[in-house]
Amino acid sequence: MLKSVRYAVLAGALSLSFCGQAAPAGDLPLMPWPQKVELSAQAGYLTLDNEVSIAIRGDDLEGAVERWRQRIALQTGWELKPQSGSHRPPTITVTIAQRLDPQPRLDSDESYHLSITAEGVKLNAATRFGALRGMETLLQLIRPGAERVAIPWIEIEDRPRFPWRGLLIDSARHFMPVSTILRQLDGMAAAKLNVFHWHLTDDQGWRFASTHYPKLQQLASDGQFYTQAQMREVVRYATERGIRVVPEFDVPGHASAIAVAYPELMSAPGPYAMEREWGVLKPVLDPTKEETYRFIDTLVGELADIFPDSYLHIGGDEVDDTQWRNNPDIQNFMRQHQLADSHALHTWFNQRLETILAKHQRRMVGWDEIFHPSLPKRSLIQSWQGQDALGSIARAGYQGILSTGFYLDQPHATAYHYRNEVLPQGLNDIDKPRKGDRAQSWSFTMPRLKGSAVEGSFTLIADAENRTWRGFIDFKGKSRRAVRDITWPGDGQVSFSVDTWMGETRPVLTLRENVLSGYFLVGNTRYPASGKRLEDIPEGRAPVVPEQEQMANILGGEAALWAENVIAPVMDIKLWPRAFSVAERLWSARDVNDVDNMYRRLAQTDAWSTISVGLQQHDQSQRQMMRLAGTADILPLQILAQALEPAQYYTRNHLKFQAGNYHQFEPLNRLADALGPESMTTRQVQGWVDALIANPRDKESAQALRRLFIRWQDNYQDLLPLLEGSYQLRAIKPVAEDVAHLAALGLKMIERIEKRERISAAERALWQSQLDEAARVRDELVIAAVYPLEKLLRAGVELNQ
């Protein structure tokens, strides 16, 4: 008998015997979570040994058996016996119903059925692609337990929610060696991602070898480019793993590298030098020259010969039209062709491109800026501008994919990406006042370190009994968003959370005498805010939500890893295991959204992907710390890192810009570069703090906090020689001092809460000022532990009130 598990009960009491242990069903180490999981009511398991064997029927998966056996050996630590020497039936039988061309397509069937019983493992799939996905699920289940290696008796029916589940890697701004790319393909396959979007050209470098235009790689790559043989190897490697490769050749903007090699194609005369600065730059192709289209036609032909996928990405984003506006010949061309503005000229250019791509049997993919009603419906739009833009694309009958909210080059908490629903959502009338409601609206301005200030307003609404709050926020130029987790304790300070294009955003504001002050916490970084009370609820823009049938135009999404702050030695730190959360959002059912459960499974996936797949997030972090410390004894630095995070959102980029270091040769060698995007230890601290606040007699949580704070406090003396011995680490000495001081402060707070001794107003003011000082960004780092300590402080103040 089998017991069906819906996701809603994953965190509940249902359990099974797994690897000889009792474990909650939600703790099955699967990510992405399958569509349907059925557990055997008998709670049995299949024991494995080093005679494990695999048989594939119905198709030839070109070396897959050996790859899978090697991974099982890595996961178990066994030396597997040769398959040919075994007379037992196969441990794992993979049956594929239909033999297909190995080249994956958008409509490839990736469904599979996995059955594990006392008789063995049966993996059935319609195609090779489903078999590849199903085997990753099986491999996630094979882990040593307390007594043996065993897999639970289980039935899994699975298929992806979206057909386009991609990862963009930028090899243009910083070159990424082929070995680095191949390792990320292994990670993608493990996460069931199926589109590798390869960003090969940009202002700072041309990265693919052209036979017909060799000056591109000779003059505009600093000698760092991929040969055609290397690109074919990447395609072959990806194909074996069921991954499509979509190359991006960015035109007409982001064209500074083209300008260096072929200035005659540009909209302003040269000569041009290699561009080293980051940002939106002026060189742009001349769309009025036929030679421009011959150039593109030839390069598209070369790419089509190397990359067999039916889609080719032409970029099309961030076109600075200065050169177009200042060129008399281009302006005359626009008048002759009745092109009203630069957007119309850009669309003219894209229409010519679409014809060239069709000639080579390719379909156009481009960023939001190519969207125009006259663009052929064959085109696919990739949105970096958000769900509203994606909703407009789908409404207009175009297919689209989402990248907003999935930018992994920005350090963000994994939960932020995990909450990022691809399909546009409405407000469900939360912004409509009801009888008896009381509403307050406030304007705000939040200056940023680079670019214009963020402006807008928010409205908080209390029901007639003043028991519940709801609210929404209107950012200037964007649609209205619902807010969550509103706290307004009555002391004039209000806080709430909302996910924005900047990341998770939590205003912490004081509202007094119609004046707003405080800060917006963007990720983990504070940005000051000011504003005033408004007399009325402002008009807002409703989210763009397509009709249900139009939602089918949304094919999925892509995580993006832009490389301004990424080099090969730290790439895995930026991507993994966080990309598994994006993969789950794109693969799993929409109601798979329990954040705590996700984090439990992510921790298991982190270890599994390191051992089985060979991802290097932990190795890279340790290497960077060893380089900084000058010794292999980096334990003190690792303990310090438990309290720290890199400054989130684009704060680090903007700080580099302010310092004049926003360029290709800025070293990415700080401690911030060695850290993952969030501290999992600090997340644990948040959980212990919440438990202690809920129950001051929770000795287990109190003791866990006490042990950790003592470790942080004592660590400073061990850390000091490392800080003094490295000019790079010396910059964070004040940060290390603050961590030790905060640990001591945390111990005082725990004692007060356990004894139920209220913290006085004077103590609160002093301790809050210490927390505020420690919250500053220093050397691109933030002490993330500040925020659970703020919770403890407030709880201590509120005791016996």
Q: Binning pLDDT at 50, 70 and 90, where does residue 14 land?
A: very low
62 a catalytic residue = no
Q: What are the sequence ranges of the domains in the chain? A: 2-158, 164-422+553-561, 438-534, 616-798
In this predicted structure, the answer to whether residue 74 has a pLDDT above a threshold of 60 is yes
Question: Could you give the CA distance from residue 625 to residue 621 in angstroms, rounded to a whole number?
Answer: 6
Res. 13: pLDDT tops 60: no
Encoded tokens for 517: 């002050």
* The CATH classification of domain 164-422+553-561, taken from the options 3.30.420.40, 3.30.450.40, 3.30.2310.20, 3.20.20.80: 3.20.20.80
For residue 101, give every residue at least 6 positions away whose Cβ sits within 8 Å of its Cβ, in sequence order, or none. none
- Please give the average per-residue pLDDT across 461-480, as a whole number: 89
Mean pLDDT across 772-785: 98
Q: What is the CA angle 681-687-689, rounded to 5? A: 105
Q: What residues contact 548, with CB distance under 8 A and at least 6 apart?
A: none
The tens digit of pLDDT for each residue in 241-267 reads 999 999 999 999 999 999 999 999 999
Q: Confidence band (pLDDT; 50, 70, 90) for 25?
A: low
Strand-pair category, 454-462 with 469-475: antiparallel
CB 379 within 8 A of CB 312: no
Mean pLDDT, rounded, of the chain = 94
Residue 466 has pLDDT above 60, yes or no: yes
202 token code pair = 């940009």
pLDDT for position 208: 96
How confident is the model at residue 758, as a pLDDT? 84
The answer, yes or no, to whether residue 18 has pLDDT greater than 70, is: no
pLDDT of 23 strictly over 70: no
Helix (H, G, I), strand (E, B) or coil at 321: coil
How does pLDDT run across 523-582, given as a tens digit for each residue?
A: 999 999 999 999 999 999 999 999 999 999 999 999 999 999 999 999 999 999 999 999
pLDDT of residue 86: 63
Partner residues linked to 388 by β-bridges: none
Section 124-135 average pLDDT? 98
- Asked if the peptide bond before residue 577 counts as cis, ω within 30 degrees of 0, the response is yes
Give the model's confidence band at 4: pLDDT under 50 very low, under 70 low, under 90 confident, else very high.
very low
At residue 800, the pLDDT reads 56
Residue 22: predicted pLDDT: 33
Model pLDDT, residue 253: 96
Residues 6+ apart with CB under 8 A from 387: 402, 404, 421, 422, 423, 424, 425, 543, 544
Q: Are 220 and 274 in contact (CB under 8 A)?
A: yes
Helix, coil or strand: residue 528:
strand
| Radius of gyration of the CA atoms of the chain, in A | 28
Residue type, 177: P
Over range 770-777, report the average pLDDT: 97
**For residue range 419-445, what is the model confidence (pLDDT) as tens digits?**
999 999 999 999 998 888 999 999 999
The arrangement of strands across the sheet holding 120-125 comes to: 2-5, 36-40, 154-158, 112-117, 120-125, 92-96, 54-57
170-177: average pLDDT:
98
Phi-psi domain of 800 (left: phi exceeds 0; alpha: psi -120 through 50; beta: other): left
Check residue 43 and give its pLDDT: 79
Give residue 40's pLDDT: 80
The answer on pLDDT for 9 being more than 50 is no
What does the pLDDT look like over 682-730, one tens digit per residue? 999 999 999 999 999 999 999 999 999 999 999 999 999 999 999 999 9
Instruction: Read off the pLDDT of each residue in 100-113 and give the average, rounded to a whole number.
Output: 97
Convert the pLDDT of each residue in 333-375 to its tens digit.
Answer: 999 999 999 999 999 999 999 999 999 999 999 999 999 998 9
Confidence band (pLDDT; 50, 70, 90) for 3?
very low
Active-site residue among 157, 318, 455, 754? Answer: 318
Q: Are 247 and 208 in contact (CB under 8 A)?
A: yes
Tally the residues of the chain.
Answer: 801
For 616-666, write each residue's pLDDT tens digit. Answer: 999 999 999 999 999 999 999 999 999 999 999 999 999 999 999 999 999
Of 665, 664, 666, nearest to 202 by C-alpha is 664
At the topology level, CATH places domain 438-534 in Lipocalin (2.40.128)
For 200-236, write each residue's pLDDT tens digit: 999 999 999 999 999 999 999 999 999 999 999 999 9
Mean pLDDT on 751-777: 93
- Cα(151)–Cα(17) distance, integer angstroms: 9
Euclidean distance between CA atoms 293 and 305, whole angstroms:
18
Residue 7 has pLDDT above 90, yes or no: no
Range 327-332 contact pairs with CB under 8 angstroms and sequence separation of 24 or more = 327/267, 327/268, 327/286, 329/288, 330/267, 330/286, 330/287, 330/288
| Percentage of the chain exceeding pLDDT 70 | 96
Task: Verify cis geometry, omega within 30 degrees of 0, for the bond prior to 528.
Answer: no
CATH ID of 2-158, from 3.20.20.80, 1.20.58.100, 3.40.640.10, 3.30.379.10: 3.30.379.10
Res 379 pLDDT > 90: yes
Checking DSSP bridges between strand 54-57 and strand 92-96, what pairing results, if any?
Answer: parallel
